[in-house]
């Protein structure tokens, strides 16, 4: 187990190193000149050269890479070419916003999927089960941003119940914060909830077929009772791993939702930075996202090994 | 307690209390330093509100006194004597004197990096006559100089307040920046030491929305009080019919231009350019792209300039004439690259242009480019394009046609001469020369001026003092008021 | 967002019960019909559309459905029905490129990982995991920035990002096949590896790959919609359901039809591919067959 863990950890580190080279290499071939963007129209060649020098863009690629990666390791994300500001603080801020979004979206997804999935499984021979399955199929097929746009029109613009967008940090005004979180979380969570419902349903169906449930049912328990008493924990194992993977889906899915709801998260930072050729910001954001995904995958692997004793034996 | 808008949708009011107002914009400043960062967003937020100049531009394009109470111009039109307002202080407490005028004007040349700074090259030197009198001596007469002084170039800085321009602007205006949340908002608060009448709203929240629809939704759902410029024209009727709001429509200085690469074949041929101009139905284009709101102009002059003439009739929509001109120029089976910024209006207009040109046998490949980065590099700097569409927002940007190295690739010595003459001449001469420039550009079909963007402002009914026309660099907050009742 | 990223692609278990089986036939039928409809629309659009889908006709903009314009016109005065038809072409193109890249890159890599030395196999799968760390949308944004926004670039990005799910699937299937007696026999008989891969492994995992293809198709279609919404997808004026949806955003209250039509088209197409995948899975997955 310990050996497995160290091995996984080493793989994680190696992956991060390779990913950083890939990200940096990719940014290096981007067309568009950050110095030009910073200076705007009509910048003179001399000024461009000076600015490029200030940004350190005239140094060899290897030096730039080492400089960047060295900074990252010491917690220094560098300075934005466009704003001249330190990237670290705003990156942390934006990351926090996106995490709130993802967390809330996840919560919505789970709140939908667990009851719906269990119900669909327990009643899979009945109409109600089929209806839930059908709805989940449909939910998977709807573009998430469409859900977002429609939600805004109905609940914010027409009914005026919640804000149509924007972001209020929880420390500033907790009530406003929660209200503002509702629609983005719903548009993230509804679709993912539909996806998750299908997995919960099948996991529960699997469990229902196990002997101990059959025994329990033979003793006269309803399928639902039998499941509650014996099966839910077992069904949770595959669902938890799916949840882990959905976390990364939501992290990137937040890019689009942030656009719809004008939320200053990591996604909008990334899109703006791409448009501005704020290379360093792009590099940092992509790296943070990739790091998060790798970490989540790592944790899911570990969790899976812990939850599933059979896997512990496999070398 | 004012206005009907305050009651509805109590959950989402961004501005709390009658002394606060929140205004939605689409373009967000990257930082607060317009001496180093180009673009309209920073002066829009700060000029006249945080920074003030000696003079300002009113919404009809006229120059008015601001920090200078009055000024005189010498006979040879090269020496400006400014009489400064007394008792003015910067927000950091430093007094504003003629020394600051010299500091600010000279600083443009030494410290500013944006391209606009070249308008200050004409200044020979600045003399401090007394604390309230500053004399600016030009190396030659220039009407454009005083005009530029009404924009961001004329902003007055204090030597004690330029340490951190990107984050902490220090000006003489009625407001101070108290908070800047990137990607979200800038909060301005009334400057307690302001020399003039205190502004009606003591707190102003400038909120930024990357997405135009989200901006409109914010007003509809009571999240903001004013939309500085509505960019979802299809939704304007809905705002007009809503009893909570008022919609004001005027003109801007934003010409949406179909740029021709004049320097390169086949568009170096005036017949081809004219053919394309005849081929495009600009009225229909305006209907599609901006729901018919906006003005057809026909040259690079907005109605707020003194030399405005309606030239929109010069090239009536005439596909047959276009085909004939193309045949005359020997250009059949032409395919052009239309490289546009990936902004909604440009992408929409591009599709209409492609459809119109297709009808006269000209093929068009639309290439949306990342804006600003890729467009600036490839089209604007490297001139790698046949056609492009972009909004030119700068004031009096008709002067760019005098620069053969500009991305138009337009090289006409006569136009350059007229522009120089207009700059140096009397007011009447200036108007006459500029008219001739505009007509020449139209005759040459140096570009196709598709339309002038309208200035559509939507606001809660209680908000008064909103400018009808957008003329200068600033979104002026000082005139805003609150209706009684 | 939705499904841009691939959720673990293994069969959703439980579909193989007897009840699931009956449902599966229905899935196959409905899914097949929806997919066939999309293909048909696309094919017909090559020969005929009611109007030129890109022709701007300002006087007739924002008209409701009529005999001349079955689904009305958009803000450019373009015929919506014609756009939907040609848009089906874009949708299929998107799916074919993205899924084609994913399957053609992923499947051989997975088989290679299963059949080669332990060390090489390990390396391939590690590379696989690394690519998985670049979510599809992220990769598409990066590709769009470098190579310009375009359907093809976006789809290559989606293809590369979904290739690992094919590789995993193929590897799992191949390992299973390699353990069977007839493959062992072939090995003992001295058959070359390539021959074994072609003769035994590929045919046996084909079913799995086909199922995954169908599901990935749906993912790719949704991805194109999301990218078009961000302005990184199909270039104008090529009609695409995703861009139609994006262009209709402002008109949602004025003319909801303009959002409804492409939204429904996307949802039905994705539903079709997903159902088809579910149905095929039951037919083709030998493991589920055994479980019955």
Q: What per-residue confidence (pLDDT) applies to C13?
A: 43
Residue C203 in contact with partner chain B when CB distance is under 8 A = no
Q: Residue B299 has which token pair? A: 């040259």
Query: To the nearest whole angstrom, how far is the Cα of C47 from the nearest Cα of chain B?
Result: 20
Band of pLDDT at residue A211, cut at 50, 70 and 90? confident
Residues 157-176 of C with CB under 8 A from B: none
Q: Are C276 and C216 in contact (CB under 8 A)?
A: no
- At B113 the pLDDT is 84
**For the complex shown, is ipTM > 0.90?**
no
**CA dist B175 to A4, B49, B190, B311, Å?**
61, 6, 4, 41
Contact between A196 and A244 (Cβ < 8 Å) = no
Task: Tell me the angle at which helices C202-229 and C80-115 cross, rounded to the nearest 10 degrees.
Answer: 140
pLDDT over 70 (residue A147): yes
* Nearest chain B CA: its distance from A111 CA (Å): 25
Q: Tens of pLDDT along A165-197?
A: 888 888 888 888 999 999 999 999 998 899 889
Average pLDDT across each block of 10 residues of chain C; the chain has 292 residues. List them in order.
Answer: 38 44 73 95 94 90 91 93 94 92 93 88 87 86 79 89 90 87 83 83 87 88 87 84 88 88 94 90 58 32
In terms of Cβ atoms closer than 10 Å to its own Cβ (0-12, 13-18, 19+), residue B469 is buried
Give the integer Cα–Cα distance in Å for A115 and A84. 50
Report CB contact under 8 Å: A163, B380. Answer: no
Orientation angle between helical segments A87-122 and A266-276, nearest 10 degrees = 130
Mutation target among C10, C13, C14, C21 for the A interface, most CBs of A within 10 A: C14
Total CB pairs under 8 A between chain A and C: 172
Bridge partners of residue B80, in order along the sequence: B73, B136
According to CATH, the topology of domain C49-62+77-274 is MetI-like fold (1.10.3720)
| Distance (Å) from the alpha carbon of A174 to chain B's nearest alpha carbon | 12
Residue A176, pLDDT score: 87
Instruction: Give the pLDDT confidence score for residue C292 in this predicted structure.
Output: 29
Instruction: Inspect the interface and report whether the beta carbons of B217 and A275 lie closer than 8 Å.
Output: no
Cβ contact C12–A206 (<8 Å): no
A contacts of B223 (beta carbons < 8 Å)? 163-166
C253 interfacial to chain B (CB closer than 8 Å): yes
Q: Quote the minimal CA–CA distance from A213 to chain B in Å.
A: 49
Do the Cβ atoms of B355 and C148 come within 8 Å? no
Band (pLDDT 50/70/90 cuts) for residue B52 is: very high
- Nearest CB among A31, A167, A262 relative to B211 is that of A262
- Helix, strand, coil share of chain A (percent; to 5): 80, 0, 20
pLDDT exceeds cutoff 50 at B70:
yes
A-chain residues near C2 (CB < 8 A): 140, 142-144, 191-192, 195, 253
Contact B12 A156 (CB under 8 A): yes
| Average confidence (pLDDT) over B264-277 | 96
**CB interface of A with C, residues 209-248, below 8 Å:** 209, 241-242, 245-246, 248
Task: Determine the pLDDT at residue B226.
Answer: 97
Q: What are phi and psi of B26, to 5 degrees?
A: -100, -40
- Those residues with Cβ within 8 angstroms of residue A12's Cβ, 6 or more apart along the chain or in another chain: A294, A295, A298
Place of tokens 């420390």: A171
Q: pLDDT digit string (tens) for B452-470?
A: 999 999 999 999 999 999 9
Q: How far is C164 from chain A (nearest CA, A)?
A: 14
Do the Cβ atoms of B355 and C58 come within 8 Å?
A: no
Domains assigned to chain B: 8-35+173-251+455-482 (3.40.190.10), 54-161 (3.90.76.10), 255-452 (3.10.105.10)
Alpha-carbon distance values, B440 to A163, B314, B418, B434, C123 (Å):
52, 11, 10, 10, 68
Out of A188, A202, A293, the one facing C133 most closely (by C-beta) is A293
**Facing residues of B185 across strands?**
B181, B207
Is residue B7's pLDDT more than 50? no
What does the pLDDT read at residue B456?
A: 96
pLDDT (0 to 100) of residue C121: 87
Nearest CA in chain A to C8: A242
Tell whether B371 lies on the interface with A, counting CB pairs under 8 A.
yes
Assess C63–B contact: CB distance below 8 Å, yes or no.
Answer: no
Confidence band for B38, pLDDT divided at 50, 70 and 90 = confident
Detail the DSSP E strand segments found in chain A. none
Interface test with C, best of B285, B291, B355 (most C CBs within 10 A): B355
Check CB contact of C77 with chain B, cutoff 8 Å.
yes
Residues of B in contact with A85 (CB under 8 A): 31, 166-167
Q: Which two tokens stand for residue B421?
A: 């003459």
Question: Which of chain B's residues have a Cβ under 8 Å away from the Cβ of A271?
Answer: 210
More confident residue, A243 or B248: B248
The fold of the A87-313 domain, in CATH, is MetI-like fold (1.10.3720)
Q: Is C192 within 8 Å of chain B by CB?
A: no
Closest CA to A274 of A22, A61, A30, A25: A30
B191-217 pLDDT, tens digit per residue, is: 999 999 999 999 999 999 988 888 999
Q: Please, are residues A38 and B37 in contact by the beta-carbon 8 Å criterion?
A: yes
Q: What is the pLDDT of residue C51?
A: 92
* Chain B residues within 8 A of A90 when measuring between CB atoms: 182
**Minimal-distance CA residue of chain A relative to B342:** A275
* Interchain contact C191–B (C-beta under 8 A): no
- Give the number of residues written for chain A: 315
Predicted confidence (pLDDT) per residue in A125-146, tens digit: 888 888 888 888 888 898 888 8
Mutate to test the interface with C, among A188, A231, A252 (most CBs of C within 10 A): A252
Least confident stretch, B31-40, B90-99, B413-422, B433-442:
B31-40
Residue A56: what pLDDT?
81
Q: What pLDDT does residue A229 have?
A: 67
* Partner A contacted by C249 (CB < 8 A): yes
pLDDT grade for A43, boundaries at 50, 70 and 90: low
pLDDT above 60: residue B9: no
Chain B residues with CB inside 8 Å of A37's CB?
372-373, 376
Residues of B in contact with C236 (CB under 8 A): 347, 350-351, 366, 368
Helix axes C202-229, A127-141, angle to 10 degrees: 60
According to the model, what pLDDT value does residue B402 have? 94
Q: Which chains touch B (3 or more CB pairs under 8 A)?
A: A, C
CB A66 within 8 A of CB A260: no
Query: Are B76 and B67 contacting, i.e. CB atoms less than 8 angstroms apart?
Result: no
Q: What is the pLDDT of residue A206?
A: 81
Nearest CA in chain B to C237: B351
Span B74-89, average pLDDT: 95
Nearest CA in chain C to A15: C130
* For residue A119, pLDDT beyond 80: yes
Instruction: Inform me whether the pLDDT recorded for A32 exceeds 70.
Output: no
Instruction: State whether A264 and B183 contact (CB < 8 Å).
Output: yes
pLDDT of residue C278: 84
Q: How far apart are CA B441 and CA C20, in angstroms?
A: 73
Task: Tell me which chain A residues have a C-beta less than 8 angstroms from the C-beta of B166.
Answer: 83-85
Choose from B7, B8, B12 for mutation: most chain A CBs within 10 A: B12
For chain B, give the mean pLDDT. Answer: 92
B355 vs C237: CB contact, 8 Å cut-off? yes
Tell me if B284 and C59 make a contact (CB, 8 A cut-off): yes
What is the C-alpha to C-alpha distance for residues B296 and B313, in angstroms, rounded to an integer? 9
Which chains border A (3 or more CB–CB pairs < 8 Å)? B, C
**Residue A95, pLDDT score:** 93
Range of weakest confidence among A77-81, B15-19, B441-445: B15-19
pLDDT 10s digits, B279-295: 999 999 999 999 999 99
Percent of chain B with pLDDT over 90: 81
Cβ <8 Å between B367 and C231: no
Q: What is the pLDDT of residues A214-254, one digit of tens each?
A: 777 777 777 777 777 666 667 777 777 788 778 878 887 88
Chain B residues touching chain C at CB-CB below 8 Å: 212-213, 216, 232, 234-235, 237-238, 281, 283-285, 287-288, 342, 347-348, 350-352, 354-356, 358, 366-370, 374
């Amino acid at each position: 187990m310990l050996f497995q863990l160290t091995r996984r950890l080493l793989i994680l580190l190696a992956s991060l190193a390779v990913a950083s080279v890939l990200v940096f290499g990719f940014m290096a071939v981007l067309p568009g000149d950050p110095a030009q963007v910073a200076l705007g129209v009509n910048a003179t060649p001399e000024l461009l050269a000076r600015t490029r020098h200030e940004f350190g863009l005239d140094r060899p690629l290897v030096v730039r890479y080492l400089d960047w990666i060295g900074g990252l390791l010491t917690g220094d994300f560098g300075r934005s070419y466009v704003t001249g500001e330190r990237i670290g603080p705003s990156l942390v801020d934006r990351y926090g916003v996106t995490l709130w979004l993802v967390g809330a979206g996840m919560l919505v997804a789970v709140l939908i999927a667990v009851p719906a999935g269990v119900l669909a499984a327990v009643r899979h021979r009945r109409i109600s089960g089929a209806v839930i399955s059908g709805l989940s199929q449909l939910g998977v097929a709807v573009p998430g941003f469409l859900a977002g746009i429609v939600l805004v029109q109905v609940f914010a613009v027409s009914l005026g119940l919640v804000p149509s967008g924007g972001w209020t940090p929880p420390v500033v005004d907790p009530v406003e914060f929660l209200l503002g979180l509702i629609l983005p979380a719903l548009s993230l969570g509804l679709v993912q909830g539909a996806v998750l419902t299908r997995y919960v349903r099948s996991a529960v169906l699997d469990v229902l077929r196990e002997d101990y449930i059959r025994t329990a049912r033979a003793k006269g328990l309803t399928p639902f009772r039998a499941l509650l008493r014996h099966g839910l924990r077992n069904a949770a194992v595959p669902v938890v791993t799916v949840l882990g993977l959905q976390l990364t889906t939501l992290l990137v899915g937040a890019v689009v939702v942030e656009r719809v709801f004008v939320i200053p998260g990591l996604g909008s930072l990334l899109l703006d930075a791409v448009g501005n050729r704020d290379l360093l910001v792009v590099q940092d954001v992509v790296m943070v996202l990739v790091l998060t995904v790798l970490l989540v995958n790592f944790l899911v692997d570990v969790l899976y090994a812990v939850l599933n004793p059979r896997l512990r034996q496999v070398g | 307690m004012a206005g009907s808008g305050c009651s509805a949708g109590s959950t989402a009011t961004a501005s709390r209390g009658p002394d606060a107002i929140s205004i939605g914009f689409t373009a967000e400043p990257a930082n607060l330093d317009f001496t180093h960062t180009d673009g309209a967003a920073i002066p829009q937020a700060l000029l006249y509100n945080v920074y003030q100049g000696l003079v300002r531009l009113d919404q009809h394009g006229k120059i008015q006194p601001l920090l200078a109470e009055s000024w005189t111009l010498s006979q040879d039109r090269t020496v400006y004597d400014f009489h400064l307002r007394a008792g003015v202080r910067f927000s950091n407490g430093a007094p504003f004197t003629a020394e600051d005028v010299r500091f600010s004007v000279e600083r443009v040349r030494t410290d500013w990096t944006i391209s606009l700074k070249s308008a200050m090259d004409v200044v020979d030197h600045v003399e401090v006559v007394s604390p309230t009198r500053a004399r600016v001596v030009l190396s030659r007469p220039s009407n454009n100089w005083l005009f530029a002084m009404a924009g961001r170039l004329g902003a007055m800085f204090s030597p004690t307040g330029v340490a951190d321009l990107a984050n902490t602007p220090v000006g003489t205006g009625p407001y101070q920046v108290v908070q800047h949340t990137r990607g979200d908002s800038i909060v301005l608060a009334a400057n307690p030491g302001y020399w003039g009448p205190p502004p009606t709203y003591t707190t102003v929240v400038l909120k930024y929305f990357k997405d135009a629809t989200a901006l409109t939704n914010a007003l509809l759902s009571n999240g903001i009080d004013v939309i500085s410029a509505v960019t979802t024209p299809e939704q304007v009727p809905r705002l007009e019919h809503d009893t909570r709001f008022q919609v004001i429509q005027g003109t801007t200085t934003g010409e949406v231009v179909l740029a021709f690469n004049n320097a390169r074949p086949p568009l170096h041929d005036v017949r081809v350019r004219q053919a394309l101009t005849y081929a495009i139905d600009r009225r229909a284009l305006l209907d599609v792209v901006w729901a018919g709101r906006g003005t057809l102009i026909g040259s690079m002059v907005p109605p707020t300039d003194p030399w405005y003439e309606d030239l929109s009739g010069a090239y009536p929509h005439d596909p047959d004439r276009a085909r004939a001109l193309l045949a005359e120029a020997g250009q059949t089976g032409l395919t052009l690259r239309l490289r546009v910024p990936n902004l909604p209006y440009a992408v929409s207009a591009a599709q209409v242009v492609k459809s119109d040109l297709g009808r006269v046998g000209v093929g068009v490949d639309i290439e949306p480019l990342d804006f600003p980065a890729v467009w600036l590099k490839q089209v604007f700097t490297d001139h790698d394009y046949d056609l492009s569409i972009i909004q030119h927002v700068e004031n009096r940007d008709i002067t760019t046609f005098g620069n053969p190295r500009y991305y138009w690739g337009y090289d006409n010595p006569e136009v350059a001469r007229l522009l120089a003459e207009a700059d140096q001449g009397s007011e009447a001469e200036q108007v006459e020369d500029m008219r001739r420039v505009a007509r020449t550009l139209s005759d040459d079909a140096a570009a196709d001026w598709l339309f002038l963007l309208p200035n559509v402002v939507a606001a809660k009914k209680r908000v008064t003092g909103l400018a009808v026309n957008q003329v200068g660099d600033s979104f002026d907050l000082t005139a805003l008021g609150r209706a009684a009742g | 967002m939705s499904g841009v990223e691939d959720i673990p692609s293994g069969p959703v278990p439980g579909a193989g019960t007897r009840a699931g089986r009956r449902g599966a036939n229905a899935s196959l039928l409905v899914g097949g019909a929806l997919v066939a409809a999309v293909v048909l629309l696309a094919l017909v659009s090559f020969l005929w559309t009611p109007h030129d889908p890109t022709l701007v006709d300002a006087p007739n903009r924002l008209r409701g459905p009529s005999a001349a314009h079955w689904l009305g016109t958009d803000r450019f005065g373009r015929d919506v029905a014609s756009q939907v038809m040609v848009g089906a072409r874009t949708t299929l193109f998107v799916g074919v490129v993205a899924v084609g890249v994913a399957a053609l890159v992923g499947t051989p890599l997975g088989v290679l990982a299963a059949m080669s030395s332990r060390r090489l196999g390990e390396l391939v799968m590690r590379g696989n995991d690394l690519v998985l760390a670049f979510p599809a949308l992220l990769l598409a944004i990066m590709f769009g920035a470098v190579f310009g926004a375009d359907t093809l670039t976006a789809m290559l990005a989606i293809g590369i990002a979904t290739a690992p799910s094919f590789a995993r699937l193929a590897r799992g299937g191949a390992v299973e096949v390699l353990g069977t007696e007839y493959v062992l026999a072939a090995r003992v008989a001295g058959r070359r590896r390539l021959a074994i891969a072609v003769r035994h492994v590929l045919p046996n995992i084909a079913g799995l790959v086909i199922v995954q293809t169908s599901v990935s198709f749906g993912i790719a279609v949704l991805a194109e919609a999301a990218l078009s919404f961000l302005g990184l997808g199909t270039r104008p004026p090529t009609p695409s359901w995703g861009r139609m949806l994006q262009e209709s955003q402002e008109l949602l209250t004025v003319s909801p039809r303009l959002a409804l039509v492409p939204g429904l088209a996307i949802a039905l197409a994705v539903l079709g591919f997903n159902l088809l995948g579910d149905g095929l899975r039951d037919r083709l997955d030998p493991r589920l067959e055994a479980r019955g």
